[in-house]
Structure 1
């Protein structure tokens, strides 16, 4: 990072999320000023009148749609926010996207058309999904993860690596402008194998039970998830977990010059922090 780039101000949407809060930490460590864009700071994805104050005077912005990058409203929202950012002089934009998610392509296209330098970071499934968010409660409280992944393999990526790649994309001049970077972990695991590694590290009898997307959707409805949202998630998982992502990507090494963090290291760190304590 040059001295000019050390003076950068980076807007971080989703600054309390799995990637966002790690990105904020990494950007500060790199010498950039971080401006969290969240409801706590007055920013609201649903209220466009709040966007200008979050973006004005910033040099770069990280865009993470609050539900999913392929959600029905994501392309319009991300496109509008990206255009507002470009109009206010924000030079660099990075979008968090997902490997293999065809539903995300309109959102990526909306970013490209906004008028600023852009980078798309397509991520594999976060390792931290097992220790943060709704899935961890099942493992912690019931000792079982119920999910519609079957025996499909996934190269789970550490959210810290995703954050580091985004920071590099935003603070390396135009080196990654106009590029799609795909990031993954260094090895393939089934969801069952991932849960087994967590069980071994924690000494708990944790299990994985595969269900069909339809059964998973019924479970979501039983937990009060709105029908439209449940239907979207069922369709999303049915496509993403069909084996299309059972391969490695080299984005972490390409950008950071090192191998991605291994799932086992993530498990040790999360277990030490008590992520799965009963």
Structure 2
């Protein structure tokens, strides 16, 4: 149910990163509500590219609101300046309703949040914990399929958030003005270590999947062998060796405040994802 003063649905909503984990889910939810969307991606029409500022204004032209996810991650150096520039461009061109996806415990992300709040936008921030879907979509799927997940993280609890909950919060924020000026820190309902999470997946798919704690040096060596771009290597190193140091080992109530319900449990995600066959090598994704 949208409020009586909610923004009109005549113009589309821009989803920056509309093919990503949360973006495509937000697009699905808005489409189900008959809200027109514009997918902001390099393959979109018009195309959108964070690295090409000439693509920003055409993507913003004629939209009434935007959901902003920064690629590759809002925690990387320079993200603050880029997000701020995009938000100010949007506001200057009449797109004031903006929703930003941010990350917990990431210094650069928090700086980006502050700049975003000062952009003149009618803003909402969704500050998310580690995505449950990282176990099944891209980041850790290959390791799960290989039967061993090795990370430089010990017995640190993380309240994994289901990307579907993030999408529900974002879709609500984009279509109901009561979320303006809100910062929703969203987490799952319980803390799990990576070993706990791996064990739940192994149990669901009835496979032997081990979790192994490795040193940061071993992790860095593995990333180097994969020949990833330097910014991705730096990001992953920060996420696993700094952000996952216990600073986020607590629950937050953002899903409850935004939606009036509890967040989905990790076990719900595991059962739902196991049923797709992705962890058995049957399917490539959900």
Shift of 1:269: 1.0
Change (3 A) 1:228 1:65: closer
State the Cα distance separating 1:103 from its structure 2 match. 2.2
CA contact (8 A) 2:152 2:216 kept: yes
More deviation, 175-184/2-11: 2-11
Structure 2 counterpart of 1:193: 196
- Structure 2's unaligned 5+ residue stretches are 282-286
Q: Secondary structure at the match of 2:280?
A: coil
Partners of 1:83 and 1:115 within 8 A in 2: yes
Identify the residue that residue 240 of structure 1 maps to in structure 2.
243
Q: Report if aligned partners of 2:7, 2:175 keep a CA contact under 8 Å in 1.
A: no
Which residue of the other structure, out of 16, 19, 22, is the alignment partner of 1:16?
A: 19
Q: Distance in 2 between matches of 1:69 and 1:63?
A: 10
1:160 pairs with 2:158: no
C-alpha offsets along residues 31-81 of structure 1, whole Å, 9 cap, x if unaligned? 321110101111111111111111111111011111111111211211111
- Cα distance in 2, alignment partners of residues 176 and 239 from structure 1: 31
Aligned length, in residue pairs: 276
CA RMSD of aligned residues (A): 1.5
Find the counterpart in structure 2 of residue 206 from structure 1. Answer: 209
* Residue in 1 that maps onto 2:147: 143
What's the TM-score, normalizing by structure 1?
A: 0.95
For residue 163 of structure 1, give the secondary structure of its aligned residue in structure 2.
helix
The structural deviation recorded for 1:29 is: 2.0
1:255 aligns with one of 245, 255, 258 = 258
Q: Secondary structure of the equivalent of 2:76?
A: coil
Separation in 1, partners of 2:236, 2:180: 31
Match of 1:172 in 2: 176
Judge conservation of contact 2:75–2:235 (CA < 8 Å) in 1. Answer: no
2: CA distance, partners of 1:182 / 1:117: 18
